[in-house]
Chain A
Amino acid sequence: MPSDSRILLTLLAAAALFPLAVHDPYVLHIAILVLFYVVLASSLNLIVGYVGEFSLGHTAFLGVGAYAAALLAQKAGWPVWATIPAAGALAAVAGGFIGAITLRLKGPYFVIVTLSFAEVLRLVANNWIAVTNGPMGLAGIPQGFLQDKRLFFYAVLAVAAVTLYLCYRFVHSNAGRGAVAVRESRFVAQSIGINPFGSAMLAFVLGAGLAGLAGGFYAHYITFVGPDIFQFSFMASMIIMVLIGGKGTLIGPIIGAAIVTLLEEYLRDMQELRLTLFGLIVMAVVLFLPNGIISLAPKLKRLRPHAPARPVSADRGVL
C-alpha cells in the first residue's frame, strides 16, 4: 500500500475530529481557510506539478465556480449541496475550453495566455452588470443549511476529501503516469503511445473542476462574490503554497496550504510588508529547496538512526 494514502487518510481523520475539540469560532475559521486552500493548492498542483506548465490563470476557475454557485443559489434557488458540485462541473467545462486553447502553448506563452484568460473573465464580471452586478458583486448569497461554522467546516472537509481522493486516484493511475511521462520527456512519452495533449487536458480539466468546487464553497461561506476573485492575490497565495510545499507531490500542497494560511494570519498586522516577506520566502525556497518542504522528508528519515529499513517496494506506488 503506498504510504501517500495512509498519510492522507490520517490527515482527513484528524481534521474530522478537529471541531469536536475546538469551539473557538476564530480558530475554526482559520481551519476552514486552510482546508479551502488545500483544495485550491491541490488543484493548481495538478497543472503545475503534473502538466508541468505554470498556470497564472487558475483564479479563472475559482471565479467561475464562485459566480456559478452564487448565481444558481440566488437566481435559481438551488440548494447548497447542488450548487457546489455544479460550480465544479461548470469550472471543468471552462477548463476544457481554456485548456483546448492554452495547452497548445509552452513555457512563457502558456503563462501569459492563462493569465489573460483570468483577466478577461475579471473584465466580464466587472462589466456584465445584468448578470454579475458588476463591481458591486453579488452579496447575500444564501447559506442554506450551513448555518453554523462547524457545518461549514465539515462541508469544506468533504470538498477537500473529494479533491484529495480524485488527485490520489489520478496520480496513481495509468493516466497520471502518462502525465508524468509527458512532463519528464515529451519525446519518450510520444514514443510509448501517449498523446501529450490529451494527457495534459485530463489533468487541466480536473484541476479546473476542483478549483471550481473551492470557488463554489467560497461563495457560500463568504456570502459575497465580486470581480476581485479573479485578481492576482489568490493566484499568488496558491503558487506560494504549491512551491513551498512541493510541486508534483500529493502531500506538498497540503503542507504549503497550512503553512501559508497560518503565516498570513500571523503576519496580518504587518499588512503590505507581509507580501514582501512571502516574496523572500519563495525566493529562499526556490533557491535552497527547489522541491519544497516535502523534499526534506526522506532526509529526515535518514537522520533517524533507528528508522526501520525501507522495504524495497515501499515507494513503487509513489510517482
Chain B
Amino acid sequence: MSQTHPTPATPLLEADNLTMVFGGLIAVRDFSFRLMPGEIVGLIGPNGAGKTTCFNMITGFCPASAGTVRFKGADITRRRPFEIARLGLVRSFQKTSVMKKLTVFENVRTGHYMQGRQSLLGTFLPGARTRASEARIAESTAQIVETLGLSHRADAPAHLLSCGELRLLEVAVALAAKPEALLLDEPAAGLNSHEAHLFGETLKQLVGRAVTALLLVEHNMSLVMNTCDRVVVLNFGQKLAEGRPEEVRANREVQEAYLGKAAA
C-alpha cells in the first residue's frame, strides 16, 4: 500500500484555523493540525472541549464557520459527508452507530458500498462483473471480520453484541469502506482496561496495512498514551498543547486543564 502514500513530507489531512460558531458560542476557535501518513494521532481534552465538533467539521457533517480542511491536498471544507467518505476519509461516531438489525457480516458487507457500486444494468441484470464484485466483497468482509476477531459472531444480529464487540464492529464497518484516513470518535468508550488495551493493539496493527493514518478522539488515557504517536490537546475550543504522549503528559497546562490548578 505504501505506493499510494503521498511523499512523507506532505500531510494526509490538514486542518487550518477551523472555527465553529453556534449562535453566540464559539465551540472551536482557530484549530489547526496535521495528520501525516503512518501516524496515529490522539485528540484529547476535557468534556465539551470541542473534539467531536472538530470531527464534524473535518468530515463535513457540520461545515466549519471558518477555516479550511485539506485532504490529500484537495480542499474538502464544503464537501458533503458522503463525498468526503468517497475520497477516503472515513469516520466513526461517538454514540455507537451500527445497523442494529443486521448481522455482523451484513454490517461489514454494507460497509463495502463504495467498492460495490454498479450501473443500473449491473444491479438489475447482474453479469460476471457484478458477481465478481460481490464475491470480492464477501471475501473482504470475511477477512475484516476475522482481523477484528469477530468471526465467531459473524451471524449474530448487531443488537445482541456486547459493548466491546460493538466497538470493534464499528471499526470493522469503517474499515470496510477502505479509508486512507480513519477518524474514530471515542472508540474505547465503555471498554474495561483489558479490552481497551487489546483494542489499542488492534489499532496499531491497522496503521500502515488497512489505513494510512488514524485520528482518535479518546478519553481512555492509557489507550491514548500507549497507541498514539502524537497527541493534540484541546481545551475550551482551542489547542492547548501538542506533542509526543510523554511530553503532553508532563505539560503543566494540560494537567491544570484536566485536574484544576494546584492550590496556591
Contact = CB atoms under 8 A, between A and B. Distances in A.
A173 B100 contact: no
A193 B86 contact: yes
Interface of A: 166, 169-170, 173-175, 177-178, 180-181, 184-185, 187-196, 312-313, 315-316, 319
B71 to A, nearest CB: 14
B124 A319 contact: no
Interface residues of B, number: 44
Given A178-B110, A188-B93, A313-B155, A166 B124 contact: yes
Contact of A316 (B82, B105, B176, B177): B105
A188 B113 CA distance: 12
A120 to B, nearest CB: 29
Contacts of A187: 61, 93, 97
A188 B101 CA distance: 14
Given A173-B126, A316-B105, A191 B92 contact: yes
Chain A's interface: helix, strand, loop or mixed, by majority?
Answer: helix
A191 B123 contact: no
Contact of A180 (B85, B91, B110, B173): B110
A188 B173 CA distance: 9
A311 B161 CA distance: 20
A177 B99 CA distance: 11
Contact of A181 (B59, B99, B117): B99
Nearest to B112: A174
Contacts of A174: 112-113, 116-118, 123, 133-134, 137
Contacts of B134: 174
13 contacts: A169-B124, A170-B123, A173-B118, A174-B117, A174-B123, A178-B110, A181-B99, A190-B85, A191-B90, A192-B114, A193-B114, A195-B80, A313-B155
A33 B63 CA distance: 52
A170 B124 contact: yes
B101 A184 contact: yes
Interface in B12-29: none
A178 B113 contact: yes
B82 A190 contact: yes
B51 interface: no
Indicate the member of A169, A170, A191, A312 with the most B CB atoms within 10 Å: A191
Contacts of B101: 184
Contacts of A192: 85, 90, 110-111, 113-114, 173-174, 176-177
Which 5 interchain pairs have the tightest Cβ spacing? Answer: A174-B116, A184-B99, A193-B85, A190-B81, A193-B114
Contacts of B206: none
A103 to B, nearest CB: 15
Given A166-B124, A187-B61, A194 B99 contact: no
Contacts of B82: 189-190, 193-196
Contacts, number: 102
A313 B133 CA distance: 19
B253 interface: no
A277 B102 CA distance: 34
A193 B102 contact: no
A77 B92 CA distance: 58
Nearest to A174: B116
Given A184-B102, A313-B155, A194 B59 contact: no
B53 interface: no
A169 B99 contact: no
A193 B93 CA distance: 15
Contacts of B98: 185, 188
Contacts of A315: 103, 155
Indicate the member of B61, B110, B116 with the most A CB atoms within 10 Å: B110
Nearest to B158: A184
B113 A193 contact: yes
B113 A184 contact: no
A236 B61 CA distance: 38
A188 B82 CA distance: 10
B239 interface: no
A173 B121 CA distance: 11
Interface in B117-162: 117-118, 123-126, 130, 133-134, 137-138, 154-155
B93 A191 contact: yes
B106 interface: yes
Nearest to B155: A312
B124 A191 contact: no
Interface string B175-195: 011000000000000000000
A180 B107 CA distance: 10
